[in-house]
């Protein structure tokens, strides 16, 4: 009888853990992309581990939901994503499969610096102060999802100051769903923000030597990083990563390489660089890699910091070499 009572007690405790708060073994927290997953994982240390959807070198622009992803969404208690224009593959599933979960679109967090998309491929005359959208509060564009898709660049996490705002939002959401571990989340959130402050200072020092030097990117994914650290991208090869530029655009980019003195063209690991080799053929430009997502980096709390430092190093190495 004692054995049976012990077994029943174990079963009842396991059952309770599964349905109260966030169980440590199976957190019930799902995150869309690697940089956001890294922030959530840092805040959840000691309380569980979030489940990542877009793994490896996958891109949210072209990702296809897997059956295991659908299962995770169905079982989720809390889902973090940037928003439907960053992860369009989740727009329908998050409303149907994730209907039992609390859904947090981090693009809607109060206090974020938000920049409008640079609508043309050339920006040397485009970066004006009036491009910024409501840095102190949520703008109308991000309050209404449909409008945000047209107007707001959603690569928000590439500004570490925005990552600090997101961290606060993540702490609040986790503490609400799992109040028994609120103090853990709050302490981890404070530690994460301190690390982000250090990161900002370190990257400012590292990138100071290449401030203002012109370069070209594969697609317009890095303006939050550029503006935070005083960098000077002048153009993108394509407006959308899933759309190949035509011959006229390639000719225009090659002309810019000559006229603007841009000697670095940055590819992304999620997309084949062969096109950029065509762009720089016969010029003095070099191709290097910038990564908005963390391809090749191990998922977890350290990924965000490794990603940002790797991008800073890539910019400094290429731009300093071409001076």
| 129: helix, strand or coil | helix
More confident residue, 2 or 31: 31
pLDDT at 133: 41
Architecture category of domain 210-321 in CATH: 3-Layer(aba) Sandwich (3.40)
pLDDT tens-digit series, residues 74-113: 999 999 999 999 999 999 999 999 999 999 999 999 999 9
- Of 164, 160, 109, nearest to 136 (Cα)? 109
pLDDT tens-digit series, residues 180-231: 999 999 999 999 999 999 999 999 999 999 999 999 998 889 999 999 999 9
Architecture category of domain 25-109+117-202 in CATH: 3-Layer(aba) Sandwich (3.40)
Token readout for 84 is 């439907």
Say yes or no to pLDDT of 3 above 60.
no
pLDDT at 167: 99
Distance CA 299, CA 41 (A): 9
pLDDT at 14: 43
* Ordered DSSP codes for 248-311: HHHHHHHHHHHHS---EEEE-TTS-THHHHHHHTTSS-EEEE--SS-TTSPSSTTHHHHHHHHH
The answer to whether the 25-109+117-202 and 210-321 domains have the same CATH topology is yes
Say yes or no to pLDDT of 149 above 60.
no
H-state helical runs in the chain? 2-19, 34-44, 67-75, 93-96, 140-143, 145-151, 160-177, 182-207, 223-229, 247-259, 274-280, 303-321
Position 128 confidence tier, pLDDT thresholds 50, 70, 90:
very low
298-304 average pLDDT score: 98
Distance CA 144, CA 261 (A): 40
pLDDT at 150: 57
Is 247 within 8 Å of 271 (Cβ atoms)?
no
Q: What is the mean pLDDT of the chain?
A: 84
More confident residue, 247 or 105: 105
Say yes or no to pLDDT of 259 above 90.
no
Q: Mean pLDDT highest for which of 51-65, 146-160, 171-185?
A: 171-185
pLDDT at 230: 97
Tell me how many degrees the CA angle 44-48-52 measures, rounded to the nearest 5: 80
Say yes or no to pLDDT of 234 above 50.
yes
Phi-psi region of 23 (alpha: psi -120 to 50; beta: other; left: phi over 0): beta
| 103: helix, strand or coil | strand
Position 129 confidence tier, pLDDT thresholds 50, 70, 90:
very low
DSSP-derived letter for residue 105 is E
Entry pTM: 0.84
pLDDT at 279: 84
Is 215 within 8 Å of 266 (Cβ atoms)?
yes
290-307 average pLDDT score: 97
Token readout for 110 is 């109060």
Residue 229's contacts (CB-CB under 8 Å, 6 or more residues apart) are 203, 204, 207, 211, 312
pLDDT at 62: 86
Burial class (CB in 10 A: 0-12, 13-18, 19+), 20: exposed
User: Domain segments of the chain: what residues?
Assistant: 25-109+117-202, 210-321
State the residue for tokens 């004006």.
128
Distance CA 172, CA 309 (A): 27
153-160 average pLDDT score: 98
pLDDT at 283: 82
């Amino acid at each position: 009888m004692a054995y049976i009572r012990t077994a029943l007690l174990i079963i009842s405790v396991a059952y309770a853990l599964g349905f109260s708060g966030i169980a440590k073994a199976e957190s019930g927290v799902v995150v869309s992309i690697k940089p956001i997953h890294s922030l959530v994982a840092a805040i959840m240390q000691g309380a569980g581990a979030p489940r990542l959807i877009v793994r490896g070198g996958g891109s949210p622009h072209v990702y296809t939901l897997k059956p295991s992803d659908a299962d995770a969404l169905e079982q989720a208690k809390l889902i973090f994503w940037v928003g439907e224009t960053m992860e369009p593959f989740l727009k329908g599933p998050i409303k149907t499969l994730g209907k039992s979960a609390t859904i947090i679109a981090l693009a809607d967090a109060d206090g974020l610096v938000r920049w409008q998309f640079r609508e043309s491929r050339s920006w040397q005359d485009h970066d004006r102060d009036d491009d910024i959208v409501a840095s102190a509060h949520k703008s109308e564009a991000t309050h209404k999802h449909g409008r945000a898709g047209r107007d707001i660049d959603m690569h928000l996490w590439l500004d570490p100051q925005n990552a600090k705002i997101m961290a606060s939002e993540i702490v609040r959401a986790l503490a609400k769903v799992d109040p028994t571990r609120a103090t853990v989340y709050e302490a981890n959130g404070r530690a994460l923000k301190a690390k982000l402050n250090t990161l900002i200072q370190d990257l400012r020092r590292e990138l100071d030597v290449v401030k203002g030097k012109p370069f070209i990117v594969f697609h317009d994914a890095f303006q939050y990083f550029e503006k935070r650290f005083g960098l000077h991208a002048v153009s993108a090869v394509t407006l959308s990563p899933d759309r190949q530029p035509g011959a006229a655009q390639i000719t225009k980019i090659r002309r810019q390489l000559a006229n603007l003195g841009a000697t670095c063209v940055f590819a992304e690991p999620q997309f084949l660089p062969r096109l950029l080799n065509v762009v720089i053929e016969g010029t003095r430009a070099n191709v290097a890699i910038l990564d908005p997502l963390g391809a090749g980096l191990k998922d977890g709390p350290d990924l965000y910091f490794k990603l940002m430092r790797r991008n800073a190093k890539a910019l400094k190495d290429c731009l300093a070499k071409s001076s």
